[in-house]
Amino acid sequence: MQRGNIFDYKNYLYFKLAVILILLGFAAYLMFEPAVGYYGGSWLGYGLGTLSAIMVFWMAWYGIRKRRYRGSGATQGWLSAHIYLGTALTVLVTLHSGFHFGFNIHTLAYGMLLIVVISGFFGNYTYMIYPRLMTENMGEDNLDGLLLRIAEADKLARQIALLMPDDINNTVARACRETSIGIGLLEQLRGFQSDCPSAMAVEQLALMGHDLAVEHRKLYRDLYSIMVRRETLVRRARQDLMYRARLGFWLYFHVPFSIALLVAMVAHVVAVFFYW
């Protein structure tokens, strides 16, 4: 059961709009070749610049729009427009620049825009692939549920391990103590812990089972299966956290640089009008 998503929203309405905008931009650019070469100060430059500036503000407004729950309308259409028109905007701004770059406030603003746009594209990519993977990983479970089950497995494993020889007990205790699940953004983004004590414990336990006393055999089997289950749970929890982190971390670029872009853009406009 598939229905409209942000790309084919209203039968690609905003995609079409973006294409038209870009074509118009190019047409204008090719038709009005100013005597002094392409640059922002021309009639065309002012036109494109004004349009772009308005669009940048409108793009940033999306962040506010999406949290104005008490307003009307649907956010989905806004995001679809945000993506397509944002892409068109980049082209328009590039034309507006007339490809004059240098170490100045103007190029700085342009750089900010690129960061915002590139992070936006990356975000888009994450939105396209991770949701499906997350469902595959989690099924009907949720993270809280997994963490709870891990904690319970910890408790159980430790109790059983107390009755076992010291080496086994130590391995289990270490696994329970030292396993970390998504501590810090970096580990979250990576989605694994190097030399994960849980995985190692399972490996080591497999080797420790050989010469056990009879009375320990059944306990050992229980313990081993708990640790295996626990390790899968840990892996799934990390995986889920990783997807979450990846779905979200690009916004740490997208939003602050949007604000920086607004500031730089205002500076650029002021500079143009007052110091030209």
Partner 1 sequence: MTITTKAAAAEITPKHFNVIIIGAGPSGLSAATHAADLGVSYLLLEAATAPASTIRNYQRGKLVMSEPRSLPIRSSLPFTASLRETVLETWEKTIADYHLNVRYEAKVVDLHRTETCLEITLTDGEKLTADHVVLAIGVQGNLRKLEIPGGDLPQVQYQLDDAQAYVDETIVVIGGGDSGVENALALTGRNQVMILNRAEDFSNCKESNLSQLTEARKGGALDWLLETNPQAIELNSKGEFPITVFANTPNGVERIPCHRVIARLGALSSRPLLESFGVGFPTADLAALPLLSTHYESNVPGLYIVGALAGYPLIKQGINQGYEVIEYILGNPVEPADAALLREKFASFCNDRGVDDVLEKIRNRVPLLAMLNSLQLRELVLESNILLPAAGEIIFKRNDYSTTFFSIVEGELDVLIDEDNVPDAVLKAGEFFGEMALVSGRRRAGTVRARTPCVLIETPRRAMQKLISSVQSMRRVLNEVAIKSVVHICIGLSLSEEDLNDLANNATLKSYAAGEELFHEGDEADGLYLIQRGSVTVSHMIGGREVVLLYVAAGHYVGEMSLISGEPRYATVRAAVATEAVLIDAGRMRDIIARNPEIRGELDARYLQHLQEQENRQQQEASLESNGALGQQSTPSNLISFLIQQGVGEATDVLLIDESICVRCNHCEQACADTHGGATRLDRDTGPIFANIRVPTSCRHCEHPHCMKDCPPDAIHRAPHGEVYIDDSCIGCGNCQQNCPYDVIQMAVVQDQPEPSLWQMLLGIQPKALPNIGGTKVAVKCDMCKDIADGPVCVRACPVGAALRVNPEELLGYAGGGTSTEANLHGLTSH
Contact string (CB under 8 A) for partner 1, positions 41-70, x = contact: -------------------x--xx-xxxxx
Residue 86 in tokens: 């944002």
Of these, 31, 35, 73, 103, which contacts partner 1 (CB under 8 A)?
73
CB of 56 to ligand HEM, least distance (A): 5
Per the CB < 8 A criterion, the answer to whether 48 and 92 are in contact is yes
Residue 123 in tokens: 């975000």
Contact set for partner 1, span 223-242 (CB under 8 A): none
Cα 71-6-130 angle, rounded to 5 deg: 110
Q: Which residues bind ligand HEM (CB under 6 A)?
A: 56, 59-60, 62-63, 66, 79, 82-83, 86-87, 89, 113, 116-117, 120-121, 123-124, 127, 251, 254-255, 258, 261
d(CA 216, CA 130): 44
Strands (E), 50-122: none
CA distances 28 to 31, 43, 53, 212, Å, are 5, 11, 18, 83
> Taking the CB of residue 161, how many other CB atoms lie within 10 A of it?
24
Of these, 20, 26, 101, 135, which contacts partner 1 (CB under 8 A)?
135
CB of 91 to partner 1, least distance (A): 24
Q: Convert 100-119 to b/e letters by CB count within 10 Å (16 or more is b).
A: eeeeebbebbbebbebbbeb
d(CA 276, CA 269): 10
Does position 247 interact with partner 1 (CB under 8 A)? The reply is yes
Eight-class DSSP state of 99? T
- Given partner 1, ligand HEM, none, residue 170, with its beta carbon under 5 to 8 Å by kind, binds none
- Given partner 1, ligand HEM, none, residue 116, with its beta carbon under 5 to 8 Å by kind, binds ligand HEM
- Given partner 1, ligand HEM, none, residue 86, with its beta carbon under 5 to 8 Å by kind, binds ligand HEM
Nearer to partner 1, 91 or 181 (CB): 181
Cα 250-253-258 angle, rounded to 5 deg: 125
CB of 64 to partner 1, least distance (A): 4
Nearer to ligand HEM, 124 or 137 (CB): 124
Of these, 32, 101, 104, 155, which contacts partner 1 (CB under 8 A)?
155
Nearer to ligand HEM, 96 or 238 (CB): 96
